[in-house]
Every structure is written in structure tokens, then in C-alpha cells.
Structure 1
Amino acid sequence: MALDTLPTPVEIREARARNPKQRERDLADKLGISEAQLLAAHVGHGVTRLNAHPDGIIGAACTLGEVMALTRNESCVSEVVGHYDNYQPGKHAAMVLNEPMDLRIFPNRWASAFAVEKETENGVRRSLQAFDRAGDAAHKIFLREESALPAFERAVAELRHDDEAPDLAVKPRDTTEPPRANPDKVEALRKGWAAMTDTHQFYSMAGKLKMNRLGAYRIVGAPFTRALATGSVDSMFHAVRDAGIPIMIFVGSHGCIQIRSGDLKTLKPMGPWLNVLDPGFNLHLRLDRVAEVWAVEKPTKRGAALSVEAFDSEGGLIFQIFPVPAGRELPDSRAPWQKIVEALPGLAAQGAA
């Protein structure tokens, strides 16, 4: 929608009133605005604009008691119930390290934030919501029945923004970088890959060779990567559930990566969605948006790190799954995870089907 045809705050609120049960994200898309702009239009009507820095938002979350943390991208939503604690601030990356809350936060991508009090059939639902420069959700924190309401009210008062106008300027969404490979450097890639001692070294190594994640996966070859059939995602989730092993599921927005460690118990398909519906953890995954799946092995000092990673048609990362290593509170799942991954059908099998 062109800038001069954007709906006014009054028109946005009227649209919300006509569609009380429609999800904010879907209504915003229908109106041609971002989700953050939809909330901004309701400032003074159950919404308060807040200062968006994670130090304030996450600091407040640490006082709320039990809450639900939500991080999503276009294809996957992760919802984890627990307590925020052990917040470690950082200029470029901050962290929450507290089972089951395990977050990597990128402060420079948090551009706006709101406290939301929304009337529902079950009463008022309260949340703290942070957004990136395009107005897309970076991270959301929803209060539960057991949460500390006085702490929420105190957070709203302390974090209240100086500008409570009912509009918000946003920037165009960043486009997903397409797969970037450099076939002339494949031998250097393989040599550098084999020399890694930590998975985080991958980014600088690939970057120096003018490649990104998916581009490098496509050309490095065995034994480091194996292309899997897209249908292997559903098979993998069911195999993990049936084996009863814990895994680490990474789901990221542009402003946060949310990691959940544990086993899976209840899988429920619904149309294109595969849903994990477990106490304390829900995952909603659009299987029809999975365009590429890779089994990836990176060497580390503690042994090989084996992951399964899914990408959308634009090359955007949907999720990563790793086993739980030794030394965690949960059982070491590396050996049974390897068996599951080795049994997943490769891309050639999918093409032959």
C-alpha cells in the first residue's frame, strides 16, 4: 500500500473493532501496515509505547514471574513457558540463560516496543512486545495467570516512552540474502570447515570466502552436509517423539533467537501446520514453506555438532535442531539423534519418489 493511502489510527482501530478475533499480524497485512503500526494506532486504547531497549524490557520480564515467551519468523513460531532470569546484557548480543528460557537477543534490531492489555473472552491478556525497524515482531512476552501484575504495571510506568503518538514510522523489510556460494573457493571452504573447533567459527570462515550459510552448505559436500528430502522434517519430529530424546530447537526472528531444550510428546498436524502441543512448550511449523533441508556436521572440541536445518524458498532459515550435549541437566542425546538423522531420506530419494 502506498504511503499516502495508509489508514489513519482511527481507521485502524475501527478495523480492529470489526475483526476482534483476527490475529494482529493477519489484520496488519490486510490493512497494508506492519504489526507495530497496528499497535501504535491503539496507544491510549489498551496500548502503551515503551522504550524498546532489551535491558529495560527483559529486565522487566525478570520481575514478572511465570510468563510465555514467543519468538517467530514467517514459517515457525516457538512458545516457551517459564521465568526470565540470568539476563546478560551486551552491546551487540544479549542473552537470557535460564532453563527453559534460553534467548540470544540483538539490541540494535529492537526499534519499538509496546505494553498491550487486550480484552479477551478469558479476561485481559497482558504482554510486552518488541519490534524491529520494519515493524515485525522481534520478541513477545505474555503474562499468565500466575504472573505478577504489580510488576507489569510498574514496568509500564518505568518504561513508558516520551512519545505516545498513535502512529509509527517503519522502514522497508530487509530482503533475505539469496544463497551465496563461491565454487572457486570450495577447497578452502572444506579445509577451513575441517579445522573448526567451535560452531560459531563458521560465520567468519564462510564470510571470508564470500559465502553465506546456505551457499556454503550447497557446495561443501560430504562429510559435512547432506541435502535431505523436505518431507524428512515431519519424519524427524515423529522420530524424536517416538525415541523420547531431548533436542534443542532454535527459532529466530530478526531480533531474537529462542532456544528450547527438551523432548516432544504431542504432535498434531492441522492443514499445512505441524504443531507441538506440550505443557510449557508449543511449536507451530508451516511444513509447506520448507524448501530445503540440510543435515550439517561441524567439528568442535567436544566432538562433531550434528544439526538439521530448514530453509524457505528465499533462503531464509526457518529452524535449526541440535542434540542436547553432555553436561546439561537433560540427558545427552547425541548418539540417538545421530541415528535419527542418518535414517532421514536424502534429496535424491525425494526426487525418485
Structure 2
Amino acid sequence: MPASPVAAPVASPDEIVAARAARPELRARDLAASLNVSEAALVAANVGTTATRIDAHPDRLIPAVETIGEVMALTRNESAVHECTGPYQDYHPGEHAAMVLGKAIDLRIFPKHWSRAFAVAEETDKGTKRSLQVFDAHGDAVHKVHLKPASDVAAFEAAVAALATGDSDRSYPTTPRPAPEGARIREDNLDILRKEWERMTDTHQFLRLVSKLKMNRLGAYRAAGDRFATRLDTGAVSLMLERAAADAVPLMIFVGNAGCIQIYSGPVRTIKPMGPWQNVLDPTFNLHLRADHIAEVWRVWKPTQRGPAISIECFDAEGQLILQSFGLRDPEAAGAWAGLAETLPAAGAPA
């Protein structure tokens, strides 16, 4: 019989610190993968030196962030990084879902995934780099707050003192990530799906509908037909960003994970591809998108009380949502967005 595979050894906190010192140029996620640890374990290994464990609950953490002034908010998944600069404002708590509704920072927060958090202050050749970092039970980053030159450092330090848990544990035990779900389709429910889809009055009704019918987002898009969802070329998202910049079409860009969704609303101006990454590099908004991870793109129509909501949505090869884009809600911007979305090439069509 063939030998059973042997699990790679997991690095200890001291080994993590040594590896980080030896290879400071590596991105945190790449170093974590090379050490067979989570990204959170990299941070936890430095508790007592550059990292402090703090209360992760958004009801305590977000009001503290509001005192710091201008910061950079970062939310990511495996294929996209979404960064917005500005103050945190207008926090709305909620047991199952909370929100930050400021003009610059717009978040949907799911508190059960905010498992542990750290305040980090690292010395670099450019000075002290300060941040607040939240992770889930699997050790994956849920949300990060990075201080900017205009940030109130004294407020940051006061927040860390107020939120510190006193826990000096340098490890980060994790639970296994759930397997990617992929597309779920129930052929026997397709007629109901289409009828109920036509009757929607708000986009938030969509996930409740597909869940009730034992499907999911991607399964519904694949099954519903062109009246509701049209599959586009995998290069459509990059083309969307380029045309939005060229034609000054404002848009909304959503990137999220299980614990947080971050939204940007406004124009995009500077589009720069770099290797596999497609980037938006504007003063208060940056997007870094792994274009090579995009396996499916869909143009989706949903009815609402204010008129149709048109979205462009992309998924990776495992069926996980990477990014969504919508138009702004005012009629002129919505019309320009709908026109842009309609020009994007269908799957298999000439570019």
C-alpha cells in the first residue's frame, strides 16, 4: 500500500519570527503559506513585541477606529484587495450584521467572523507602521485598518490601551476552512426561480430567494437564462474598469469575504495592469485584482422599486465570488453604467 501523505510541520512562534526577519520582502500571505501557518499566526507570533491582542468585536473596535481620523481600510479575499482612505463614520451595530456608512468607508460587517484582533506597530525604514488587524477562526484576514500620515497616533495608542485583552498567547489555533461550495442548481425549482426573480423589489431579496430554492448565487446565474444573467468574457471586468475610467462612468465596487464587505462608490481614473494584477490606483481608492483568477463573469439583471439593478460579477474556478460592480443610484449615473455594462462582450464573442 502507498504510504499516507505526511502533513507538513507547522512553524512555532519563534520560527515564524526568525523566518520573517530572514525574508522581510515576502508578502505576509506568501510567507504564511511557506511556513504552513495562517496569516494570523504571523501576527500572533509577535505578541509582546510588535503586536498586542485587542477586542475584536466591531461594537468596540469600530468606535475606537472612528477616533483615529483618516486611515486606510482594507478588505480582501483570495483574488482581490479593496482599499479605501478616509475616516470611519456612522457606525450601526447589529448582532448579525453591522454597518459603517461613511462617505469614504462603507462596510457591511458580519460579527460572528470577527474572531480575534491585533494592534500592530512595526518599525520600518519609512518609520513606524501602525495597523489594526482582524482575523476569523481559520486565521484569514477579515479586515485591516492601516494608519496614514494624517492619522491621530495618540488616538490609536489610546484605543489600543482601551481594547487590549491582556492575553499574551503567541499562538493562533485555527479551525479548518469549509470546502468551496461551487454552483448549486435545482432543476425542479427553475420555474419558481424565474417567476420570483421577476417579482423582486430589492436586490437584497435575491440571496433569500435562491437559498429558499436550495440554490446559490452562481447556480442561479447559470440556470436562470439570458433574461436574468448573461455570461461574459473573462476579460470583461478589466474592460469594464478601463471603459469606466475613459468615459468617466462612476460605479460601485464590492469586494468581500465571510466577515466583511467593503464598497467603493465613485469614479475610477488610473487603471494599471501589472503582471497578473489589474489595478485601480487612485488617491483614495485602490483595487488590486488577480485577473488570472477570474473563471466566470456575469452581467446580472435584478428588478427593484427604483428600476433595474445591473451588476457585473466575477467568480474564481471554485465558484467563489471575487468582485461585484453596480452603477450609482442617481438616474444619470445609472443610465451611463447600464450602457457600459451592455457593451461588454459575451463569453465566446469577439473582443
TM range (shorter): over 0.9
Q: Do the aligned partners of residues 95 and 332 (structure 1) sit closer, same or farther apart at CA in structure 2, a change above 3 Å counting?
A: farther
CA deviation vs aligned residue, 1:318-347 (integer Å, no higher than 9, x gap)? 000000002xxxx84111111111111111
Tell me what 2:342 maps to: 342
Match of 1:17 among 5, 21, 40: 21
Contact between 1:323 and 1:332, CA under 8 Å: does it hold in 2? no
**Which 5+ residue runs of structure 2 have no aligned equivalent?**
none
Look up the equivalent residue of 2:273 and give its one-letter code.
P
Tell me what 2:236 maps to: 232
- Whether 1:261 and 2:251 are equivalent positions in the alignment is no
Look up the equivalent residue of 1:233 and give its one-letter code.
V
- The CA distance in 1 between the partners of 2:156 and 2:42, in whole Å, is 22
Q: Kindly report structure 1 stretches of 4+ aligned residues shifted beyond 6 Å.
A: 1-4
Contact between 1:230 and 1:291, CA under 8 Å: does it hold in 2? yes
- The CA distance in 2 between the partners of 1:342 and 1:281, in whole Å, is 25
- Whether 1:283 and 2:287 are equivalent positions in the alignment is yes
TM-score by length of 1: 0.96
- Whether 1:181 and 2:185 are equivalent positions in the alignment is yes
Residues 1-353 of structure 1: pairs in structure 2 closer than 5 A? 5-326=9-330, 332-349=332-349
CA deviation vs aligned residue, 1:158-197 (integer Å, no higher than 9, x gap)? 1112322111111111222110011121111100000000
Contact between 2:8 and 2:36, CA under 8 Å: does it hold in 1? no
Q: Do the aligned partners of residues 187 and 4 (structure 1) sit closer, same or farther apart at CA in structure 2, a change above 3 Å counting?
A: closer
Look up the equivalent residue of 1:234 and give its one-letter code.
S
- The CA distance in 2 between the partners of 1:142 and 1:101, in whole Å, is 13
TM-score by length of 2: 0.96
Instruction: Report how far residue 3 of structure 1 moved.
Output: 7.5
- The CA distance in 2 between the partners of 1:49 and 1:301, in whole Å, is 45
SS at match of 2:349: helix
Q: Do the aligned partners of residues 16 and 224 (structure 1) sit closer, same or farther apart at CA in structure 2, a change above 3 Å counting?
A: same
CA deviation vs aligned residue, 1:289-333 (integer Å, no higher than 9, x gap)? 00000000100000000000000000000000000002xxxx841
CA deviation vs aligned residue, 1:18-76 (integer Å, no higher than 9, x gap)? 01222212111110100111110100111001111111221111000000000000000
Contact between 1:139 and 1:253, CA under 8 Å: does it hold in 2? no
- The CA distance in 1 between the partners of 2:15 and 2:212, in whole Å, is 49
Contact between 1:199 and 1:300, CA under 8 Å: does it hold in 2? yes
> How many residues are aligned here?
347
